[in-house]
Structure 1
Amino acid sequence: MAAGQPIRGWNGVNSQLAGRLAKLDLHGPRDLLLHLPLRYEDETRLTPIAAARAGFPAQIEGEVLACEVVLRPRRQLVARVSDGSGTLVARWLNFYPSQQKLLALGRRVRLFGEVRSGFFGDEMVHPRVRVVAPGEGLPTALTPVYPTTAGVGQATLRKLIERALDTEPMDELLPPAWLARLGLPGFAEALQALHRPPPDADPWALEQRTHPAWRRIKFEELLVQQLSLRRAYLARRARSAMPLPARGSLTRALLETLPFRPTAAQQRAAAEIAADLAAPHPMQRLLQGDVGSGKTLVAALAMLQAAENGWQAAMMAPTEILAEQHYRKLSAWLAPLGVEVAWLSGGRRKRERAVELARLHDGEVLLAVGTHALIEDPVTLPRLALAVVDEQHRFGVRQRLALREKGADGLRPHMLMMSATPIPRTLAMTHYADLDVSVLDELPPGRTPIRTRLVSDARRDEVVGRVRDACLGGRQAYWVCPLIEESEALQLQTAQDTFDTLVAALAELRVGLVHGRLRNDEKSATMSAFAAGELDVLVATTVIEVGVDVPNASLMVIEHAERFGLAQLHQLRGRVGRGTAESVCILIYAQPLSQTGRERLKVIYENTDGFEIARADLRIRGPGEFVGARQSGVPLLRYASLEADVDLIAPARELAEDLLAHKPTAADALMRRWLGGREGLLQA
């Protein structure tokens, strides 16, 4: 529905209620079928008041003996209800006059809530209350409790869902052979079991979502996600791109001039990319590898393959520092081959920028490196055939689309996305299933392992001494802080304060400061001075997280490490250990540590393998956070869990392939059932 359009109601739902339901992503009766309970309450049985146990939910039925508003210790509605076996007090701290009328003397009511010991005996606070006729029957199913929003009560949701269950079609769209193979119930049977579970249903299996009905729903959800991604993948392959055969003239020349030999993983990834580039449809490949595994070289070979065919290639990085690092590295490698690289960033002078833009527009320069300045309107790349996006998860869907739209008329550029945040296999199989993936799973020879140390901030002076010793021994050190300005709420040490403190404490050393508020030329000058060995210590915010390569830096200190995410800690740690000297990363943490903070530090202390860290990160943060779900464009999973339901992912992929090939109508119907019209952003 277009923004600003009034929301229309549907049968039994007025426009005001429809607007509230839309906040729950419920746009019609069919959506209600898949709005599944969070938990259940057992109203199928009555508990005598005398038998009700404190700390447990119970349903009691009795006669109202008294009901009044009392003012002390605070204004509240208090009722006394008896069922012959005993008496129970019910209290409401927030109430309406209508509730007081409901609890008229002598009325027969059912109360549902948790029983607890109160000053006047057993009591319920804010129980659910319902007036009943003598001898009225009990529900025959557990009562579902649904996710809701302001203005939509449980009773309203239950009524709407009950009506949908009775009137909406619940077509079986999965092949019977697959249901038998996986031991799953039919769709209608699963929905009935989840919305109307019988009293003998296993409440634990329902709560934990391990019940066969839940497994059926979760499998179908995973299947729809695979269908979405696979369709996006096939749609891309149906488009045209400029074939860029591997001619070898420039790529071979680069390999011959390098002072090192690529690793087997680099050679394998480069061969996979070269084969993709030679095809007449757009490459859509993710190159992932741990910090320092050599992704830049693989990207350089791909860009040269475009250049040796007379076409342009552009590399986009999320920060000025990282983009400039790529530019310097590529220029150093390619200048001896006579290949120029254009440099585009927001920080360049207007005249320099205009010259670069003109040369790119005229096709004089075939390779470009830049920040998101590359996707701004004045930049024209008429012969763009390859777009490389580094740290791709930092760019939103629309930014990636904008670079792709720079391609030559009627042709899509090949896309190579790079990430130093390794992606766990289950995540790659679901959220990245529309990409081909190349993995750099070995480090270049000569890289030294990094030792990690955890230090309480009470021992800060020892760390300063460690920095002094390392730098007087001819090495360099980073000191990373999370914020630029003082924030009383977070009480974090700031980069500026740390810089001032270290300048005073390390008078014999040269200390520099770099953070996001500096002008780009100031940042570049400080980074260049550190790289050239003119500074001993670099105090920085996380602008140095990726891409900075100073082999002589062997010590990394991270302030308030408990505040950083695992991927960020791993990235920062990877800035050292790039030379032959033994490298150490010291994580300073503040007490008291939260449970999550403690868990994160334990993982980073015990592991150096990026994939193991990524798996732990997925477990701690969940997939939505991990992939930057708000930006990824991939439909997030509402019910399936990548950890608990990993055994369903491979069969979902297999069935998705089968349905798209042989039963496209069933695939379409499944997509409509789960996504409605929300498939658009998958094209990113």
Structure 2
Amino acid sequence: MMNDKDLSSLRLNDTTLKKLNTLGIHNLWDLVLHMPLRYEDETHLTPIGIAPVGQPCFIEAEVIAQEVQFRPKKQLIVRVEDPSGALVLRFIHFYPSQQKQMAIGTRIRALGEIRHGFFGDEMVHPKVKTVQKEDALAQNLTPVYSTVKGLNQQTLRRIIGQALNQVSLDDTLSDAVLNKLNLPSFTDTIHLLHNPPAQFSAHQLNHAGLPAWQRLKFDELLAQQLSMQLAYKKRKNGTAHIMQGTGQYTAPLLDTIGFELTNAQKKVRHEITQDLAQQYPMHRLLQGDVGSGKTIIAALSALTAIESGFQVSLMAPTEILAEQHYNKFKKWLEPLNLKVAWLSGSLTKKAKQTVKEQIERNEIHIAIGTHALFQDDVLFPNLGLVIVDEQHRFGVAQRLALKNKGQFVHQLMLSATPIPRTLAMSFFADLDVSVIDELPPNRTPIKTKMVNEYRRSEIEAWVLKTCAQGQQAYWVCPLIEESETLQLQTAVQTHEYLSEVFAGLNVGLIHGKLKPAQKADIMEKFVKNEIQVLVATTVIEVGVDVPNASLMVIEHAERMGLSQLHQLRGRVGRGQAKSMCILIFHEPLSELAKARLKVIYEHTDGFEIARQDLHIRGPGEFLGAKQSGIPLFRFANLEDDLELLEQARDLAPKLIAKEPESVQKHLMRYLSHKQDYLGV
């Protein structure tokens, strides 16, 4: 096989190479798998007189007139005719070279969509080329690829053609497998999609159910499953510290937390304890809906590691969430004479250095913070367990760095955003998964109301009634245009307004710009009911637990994602009182906003909401992978291709066991430099 590691064999200049890299093309296989977006049909001509309106068609005609008009705007008008009729070609943006190309008497071919216009039937900005009468027509449909400025279609087609000539298109799957799955050969698939013969229509080729597209989707899903299952197998053959614990710290904590673990919590705690006692690294994802009690399980897991003589680190995606964990772990663990440290980007240089030195001297039992914990200069001499909260919020590259940092330690990942089955099967196939599928017995059902902003006075009356009954309320302000400054401004203004409206109540304000001590003081007052209404930015989305708060008001609910709305709603319903969440929306609503609000109104089950969220947003947004700039799949769609995913999942272990050479060949073809990313 020719060199498939890079593009050097194509002898391209640096400018072209950079443009290809921008498209995500780094080697010959990336070129081979850079599939057309659509196709143009230049294989047959349609007489102008019978050309259909509203459909792309290819005509050949002679230019009979040309003029530049200046009203209503500057445009080039070219009149052409063939024996069957006449047509106008109109160009709103044009160059002098185009005027020269379409001089009177010139024979041209034009590809475009005919429509009824001011000048009669016309094509606007058709693709035009000059021809001689006897010039042959194309034998294949013309592929149109995604590209970047400065890299035209003709050049890209030529480069892809070169790559196709240099790689071996032999199959990585046996005939028996292809026949069983009813899939075409790889060679036939690639040739059909890059050079489709005239008997295929553009519509047929763009249909996702075309066997050739099904083959590419299956291959891609198989590559990802192979990568994940190999990572799983490698981990099971790896080595890690055996942690059996002594009960020295876990027993006292269970005696003092003031509540009994649910059966679901006991079950997942047992699964984690079993993992930690193995000699290979634990990679376990702990899923649980809002308020199901994941934090106490994380704390008990940390104590098992500490009892076994190891350090623990807990990382969260935001300072607010990390800080809440820090405060809760301090409350639970410091009475046990354990040292809990806080490390984040907001600390002073001196404070950071002090914490880093304490970690390096093994004086810290558990370090809690943001991704600052995993910088190169943070050295854990005795790290045994890494806990990552809301791990799907981290970009793929960040998760990869974390994975490499903790290669020989146990990892516990927490998610309050339940992962739908299709995603769990795909992107978390290298993990063991535990689910807390039972809420604590003190959780009360939450009624959700959607209220137009014009009914604000009714909402204020609900708040007054709630507080008059001794309960408390949250009033959450939105994130406006991704601006923390505007969000803060909105929260401050809302606080001032509500302080006047609720003159007899104590109205508090909490946001991310406050110092940790200020935030802790405000939350303590809210817990003690010294503050009845708490105006907040979305900092309270996760981790806040105030059983006496029974009303949640969310401003501009249409601007928030499903997961965020569900998390916010989960801040209430933690006590005995009936709880309500009021979603204030502003019109007009986009279709996306309507879809989100409908889901959150109709469902309280986090798994169902997550499934709907995946359908609305797509897996890239759901996993935080789009923000990292790494596309998840080029061809497959997890919602539509579940059957293919299941077939790929079933085939992967058989190939790993019986055809290791085919596995490596398949991975090289489809993942190459992306393999590490798909294996996080």
TM range, normalised to the smaller chain?
A: over 0.9
Question: Taking structure 1 as reference, are residues 12 and 46 closer, same or farther at Cα in structure 2, changes over 3 Å only?
Answer: farther
| Distance in 2 of aligned mates of 1:617 and 1:406 | 31
Please name the residue that 2:529 is paired with: 533
Please name the residue that 1:301 is paired with: 300
- Deviations along 1:521-573, one digit per CA (max 9) or x if unpaired, are 22221112111211001111111110000000000001000111111111111
Give the 3-state SS of the residue equivalent to 2:673 in structure 1: coil
Question: Taking structure 1 as reference, are residues 23 and 357 closer, same or farther at Cα in structure 2, changes over 3 Å only?
Answer: closer
- Deviations along 1:75-124, one digit per CA (max 9) or x if unpaired, are 32222111111111111122222222222322221111010112221111
| Distance in 1 of aligned mates of 2:552 and 2:402 | 35
Shift of 1:683: 6.3
Structure 1, 470-479 or 670-679: larger mean CA deviation: 670-679
What is the identity, as a one-letter code, of the residue corresponding to 2:147?
T
What is the identity, as a one-letter code, of the residue corresponding to 1:475?
Q
What is the identity, as a one-letter code, of the residue corresponding to 2:579?
S
Structure 1, 18-27 or 8-17: larger mean CA deviation: 8-17
Question: Taking structure 1 as reference, are residues 500 and 158 closer, same or farther at Cα in structure 2, changes over 3 Å only?
Answer: same
TM-score (norm: length of structure 2): 0.92
Please name the residue that 2:3 is paired with: none
Give the 3-state SS of the residue equivalent to 1:587 in structure 2: strand
Contact 2:7 2:27 in 1 (8 A): no
Please name the residue that 1:27 is paired with: 26
What is the identity, as a one-letter code, of the residue corresponding to 2:127?
R
- Deviations along 1:192-235, one digit per CA (max 9) or x if unpaired, are 22122233336444323110110000000111112222333334
Give the 3-state SS of the residue equivalent to 1:94 in structure 2: coil
Please name the residue that 1:574 is paired with: 570
How do residues 502-517 of structure 1 correspond to structure 2 at under 5 angstroms?
A: 502-517=498-513
Do structure 1's residue 610 and structure 2's residue 606 form an aligned pair? yes
Contact 2:480 2:487 in 1 (8 A): no
Give the 3-state SS of the residue equivalent to 1:46 in structure 2: coil
- Deviations along 1:471-518, one digit per CA (max 9) or x if unpaired, are 121011111112489989999981111111100111000001111122
TM-score (norm: length of structure 1): 0.92
Give the 3-state SS of the residue equivalent to 1:678 in structure 2: helix
How do residues 34-49 of structure 1 correspond to structure 2 at under 5 angstroms?
A: 34-49=33-48
Please name the residue that 1:479 is paired with: 475
Give the 3-state SS of the residue equivalent to 1:608 in structure 2: coil
Shift of 1:403: 5.9
Aligned residues: 675
What is the identity, as a one-letter code, of the residue corresponding to 2:538?
T
| Distance in 2 of aligned mates of 1:573 and 1:356 | 35
Contact 2:90 2:124 in 1 (8 A): yes
Do structure 1's residue 674 and structure 2's residue 670 form an aligned pair? yes
Question: Taking structure 1 as reference, are residues 93 and 521 closer, same or farther at Cα in structure 2, changes over 3 Å only?
Answer: same
Please name the residue that 1:153 is paired with: 152
| Distance in 1 of aligned mates of 2:60 and 2:480 | 61
Q: State the identity as a percent.
A: 55
| Distance in 2 of aligned mates of 1:105 and 1:494 | 64
Instruction: Give the alignment partner of residue 617 of structure 2, picking from 608, 618, 621.
Output: 621
Contact 1:396 1:631 in 2 (8 A): yes
Instruction: Give the alignment partner of residue 556 of structure 1, picking from 552, 555, 560.
Output: 552
Please name the residue that 2:514 is paired with: 518
Contact 1:347 1:520 in 2 (8 A): no
Contact 2:311 2:384 in 1 (8 A): yes
Please name the residue that 2:429 is paired with: 433
- Deviations along 1:123-161, one digit per CA (max 9) or x if unpaired, are 111111122222333223332221121112222223333
| Distance in 2 of aligned mates of 1:486 and 1:618 | 21
Please name the residue that 1:640 is paired with: 636
- Deviations along 1:375-418, one digit per CA (max 9) or x if unpaired, are 456654322201111122333456556666776xxx72211111
Please name the residue that 2:227 is paired with: 228
Do structure 1's residue 499 and structure 2's residue 495 form an aligned pair? yes
What is the identity, as a one-letter code, of the residue corresponding to 1:123?
E
| Distance in 2 of aligned mates of 1:319 and 1:548 | 14
| Distance in 2 of aligned mates of 1:41 and 1:80 | 23
Shift of 1:345: 5.1
What is the identity, as a one-letter code, of the residue corresponding to 2:97?
S
Structure 1, 440-449 or 534-543: larger mean CA deviation: 440-449
Shift of 1:32: 2.1
What is the identity, as a one-letter code, of the residue corresponding to 2:506?
R
Contact 2:394 2:624 in 1 (8 A): no
| Distance in 1 of aligned mates of 2:443 and 2:467 | 20
What is the identity, as a one-letter code, of the residue corresponding to 2:672?
G
Contact 2:305 2:312 in 1 (8 A): yes
| Distance in 2 of aligned mates of 1:193 and 1:482 | 50
| Distance in 1 of aligned mates of 2:613 and 2:675 | 27
Please name the residue that 1:449 is paired with: 445
| Distance in 1 of aligned mates of 2:618 and 2:293 | 28
How do residues 315-326 of structure 1 correspond to structure 2 at under 5 angstroms?
A: 315-326=314-325
Please name the residue that 1:176 is paired with: 175
Please name the residue that 1:103 is paired with: 102
| Distance in 2 of aligned mates of 1:133 and 1:172 | 42
- Deviations along 1:219-278, one digit per CA (max 9) or x if unpaired, are 001111122223333344444211112544543454454443322221221111111111
Which blocks of at least 5 consecutive residues in structure 1 are unaligned? 1-6
Contact 1:481 1:493 in 2 (8 A): no
| Distance in 1 of aligned mates of 2:569 and 2:81 | 66
Question: Taking structure 1 as reference, are residues 663 and 148 closer, same or farther at Cα in structure 2, changes over 3 Å only?
Answer: same
Contact 1:493 1:559 in 2 (8 A): no
Give the 3-state SS of the residue equivalent to 1:89 in structure 2: strand
Question: Taking structure 1 as reference, are residues 173 and 488 closer, same or farther at Cα in structure 2, changes over 3 Å only?
Answer: closer
Contact 1:347 1:521 in 2 (8 A): no
Shift of 1:181: 1.2
Contact 1:8 1:15 in 2 (8 A): no
Contact 2:7 2:28 in 1 (8 A): no
Shift of 1:12: 6.4
Instruction: Give the alignment partner of residue 412 of structure 1, picking from 408, 411, 435.
Output: 408
Structure 1, 466-475 or 89-98: larger mean CA deviation: 89-98
Shift of 1:469: 1.1
Contact 2:547 2:575 in 1 (8 A): yes
Do structure 1's residue 88 and structure 2's residue 84 form an aligned pair? no
Structure 1, 124-133 or 368-377: larger mean CA deviation: 368-377
Structure 1, 191-200 or 615-624: larger mean CA deviation: 191-200
How do residues 282-361 of structure 1 correspond to structure 2 at under 5 angstroms?
A: 282-334=281-333, 339=338, 341-344=340-343, 360-361=359-360
Shift of 1:73: 3.1
What is the identity, as a one-letter code, of the residue corresponding to 2:308?
N
Structure 1, 201-210 or 190-199: larger mean CA deviation: 201-210
Give the 3-state SS of the residue equivalent to 2:83 in structure 1: coil
How do residues 61-80 of structure 1 correspond to structure 2 at under 5 angstroms?
A: 61-80=60-79
What is the identity, as a one-letter code, of the residue corresponding to 2:90?
R
What is the identity, as a one-letter code, of the residue corresponding to 2:37?
L
Contact 1:77 1:92 in 2 (8 A): yes
Please name the residue that 1:3 is paired with: none
| Distance in 2 of aligned mates of 1:125 and 1:484 | 40
Question: Taking structure 1 as reference, are residues 131 and 402 closer, same or farther at Cα in structure 2, changes over 3 Å only?
Answer: closer
Contact 2:339 2:363 in 1 (8 A): no
Please name the residue that 1:123 is paired with: 122
| Distance in 1 of aligned mates of 2:394 and 2:58 | 52
Shift of 1:615: 0.9
Please name the residue that 2:267 is paired with: 268
Structure 1, 641-650 or 303-312: larger mean CA deviation: 303-312
Please name the residue that 2:209 is paired with: 210
| Distance in 2 of aligned mates of 1:679 and 1:13 | 25
Shift of 1:330: 3.4
- Deviations along 1:570-625, one digit per CA (max 9) or x if unpaired, are 11111111111111000001100011011100010001011111111111111111
Contact 1:404 1:413 in 2 (8 A): no
Question: Taking structure 1 as reference, are residues 66 and 288 closer, same or farther at Cα in structure 2, changes over 3 Å only?
Answer: same
What is the identity, as a one-letter code, of the residue corresponding to 2:152?
G
Contact 1:9 1:18 in 2 (8 A): no
Give the 3-state SS of the residue equivalent to 1:649 in structure 2: helix
What is the identity, as a one-letter code, of the residue corresponding to 1:50?
G
